Chain A
């Protein structure tokens, strides 16, 4: 029998029992759809998180105080005041860390900001003027504070676009006073709309000199973190090493496991995100795979029923000249076509599902979460469904091919 005829025969066989074929496909459709959805939503989520954390650019390095927590009861928080002025001074020395281009201490706190009766809950960032260079945020109106003003602990503020809208609406903000913790700050700059940059949402932020923040808002003598920009992406590992050496020497740390600071590079953050989303994706894939196996068993079950029901047909086909191989091919093709169509249905369904999920999630978190057609997932789904048809169709098909023509013709 030619392949074309085998295909025709198999398709006719399936069409005779449309409802049953469709129901059998359902298991495969669901399995493949979940593979597609898991892969593409997983990829999307990963990209989203990566966008968020790596919004700082690959040259940026974050130094945090404290130790990498080793477990839930680790008191690493006790060391959270380990980064102070002397550390910044040491790092600024070219002889210590030659690869650094810019660095700024950073303090963060949340305060309500008042102006002319309007109140807004903003994030306060205490930093140096270099923050503007590192994060690439330039005031669209006004200016940043300068070094001199930082030294004087001046009460100046650069405000994000959201803060400006909430407090001043359409009216001019430059030169106006805003009140933070009963202290008046003069607005000297307004930032353009910028959105999320790593852990900072620039739009609802008020940036003030770090010295002012330390003394008047928080009353502490340490920093929450130090933001460092290396001269180039290639220099990052070297800079990381030099920072470690410098700080260890300064803090008199001999055992590296006793470090009282942590260094986060963008590649490291990306790596962590990828590891976590990767593990999640794999876990979900296992679930999807199990549902595919269940679908495959469903296919085998239905094919066995079909073979029994069509015993007479098999006998007749053999009587008029079908070889064992012809019968084997017919039933194997039936199950492969069944699962292949299930696979195609699953791909369509899965793509719609992940498109819908992407669309609604991007609405909810109002972020650009781009939908990408999961080509790998689609090919994988097709391949896997065809294999399932082969594997789970083989036993029923060989049962069919082994039937003796007279037994089959005699079957009632």
Chain B
């Protein structure tokens, strides 16, 4: 069964009387365990799509089923709970809480769960270890490099072992070497079973995924399997 299923999804922004259509009928589905990249030029509706899929926004029209349930059946509280337990988000500008150390930043989603304090601590440390920044655990975001910050954000995204990770231009603010490391982490996360939806406007970065959805003017122009997937070696060199 498909994890994500959208049919004729439309999104129109109403901004001071001006209508901006961002999605004009999008249909596709994503199965569990897939690594999908969404590409396309700036303004083609990639972020709008990610926000709707990630329950951060509601569509104007069309159907969205997650795990078999349509979004219309879910209350705002259900949406918040799903974001908390089943989704992980990684943004281009990291969105870490300033003046809050790495451990507390990673713990943030756990504060909104019902997990015990001790379990929270364990999960956060495990996630921090998984992205390889245990040595920075009590540093503040301002004391970290861009690549390290994005790893903290990834740790935060995976701390509750979510079904799917939504990443919007996660390498957009990073140099190519740090970006590569981030992509390696995503591939490893995918390998251990996380579904990943990666938004990027760089075709180059999209090549790390197994499947590419190419968007244009709010529609899917192309849906292709990646035949020559870029794999990152343990030492970080591209094969």
Give chain A's interface residues, CB within 8 Å of chain B: 1-2, 5, 9, 12, 16, 312-313, 315-324, 326, 404-406, 409
Nearest residue (CB) in A for B57 is: A406
B12 CB → nearest A CB, Å: 14
Is A9's CB under 8 angstroms from B111's CB? yes
Is B111's CB under 8 angstroms from A312's CB? no
Residue numbers in A under 8 Å from B114 (CB-CB) = 2
10 CB contacts below 8 A, A to B, read A12-B100, A316-B97, A316-B108, A320-B89, A320-B109, A321-B83, A321-B85, A321-B109, A321-B113, A405-B57
What range describes how many residues of B lie at the interface? 20 to 34
Looking at chain A's contact residues, is the secondary structure mostly helix, strand, loop, or mixed?
helix
Residue numbers in B under 8 Å from A406 (CB-CB) = 51, 56-57
Is A320's CB under 8 angstroms from B91's CB? no
Nearest residue (CB) in A for B168 is: A409
Give chain B's interface residues, CB within 8 Å of chain A: 51, 54, 56-57, 76-77, 80-81, 83-85, 89, 91, 95, 97, 99-100, 108-109, 111-114, 156
Is A321's CB under 8 angstroms from B112's CB? yes
Is A405's CB under 8 angstroms from B56's CB? yes
A334 CB → nearest B CB, Å: 15
* A-B contact sample (20 more), CB < 8 A, given A16-B99, A326-B112: A9-B111, A312-B95, A313-B97, A315-B95, A316-B97, A317-B108, A318-B80, A319-B56, A319-B83, A320-B108, A320-B109, A321-B80, A321-B85, A321-B112, A322-B80, A323-B112, A405-B56, A406-B51, A406-B56, A409-B95
Known A-B contacts A312-B95, A406-B51; A320 and B112 likewise in contact (beta carbons under 8 Å):
yes
In the bound assembly, the distance between CA atoms of A317 and B84 in angstroms comes to 10
Is B77's CB under 8 angstroms from A323's CB? yes
In the bound assembly, the distance between CA atoms of A321 and B107 in angstroms comes to 12
Is A1's CB under 8 angstroms from B112's CB? yes
A409 CB → nearest B CB, Å: 7
In the bound assembly, the distance between CA atoms of A404 and B111 in angstroms comes to 20
Nearest residue (CB) in B for A15 is: B99
B30 CB → nearest A CB, Å: 20
Residue numbers in A under 8 Å from B108 (CB-CB) = 316-317, 320
A193 CB → nearest B CB, Å: 66
B239 CB → nearest A CB, Å: 34
Residue numbers in A under 8 Å from B113 (CB-CB) = 321
Most buried by B among A9, A316, A406: A316
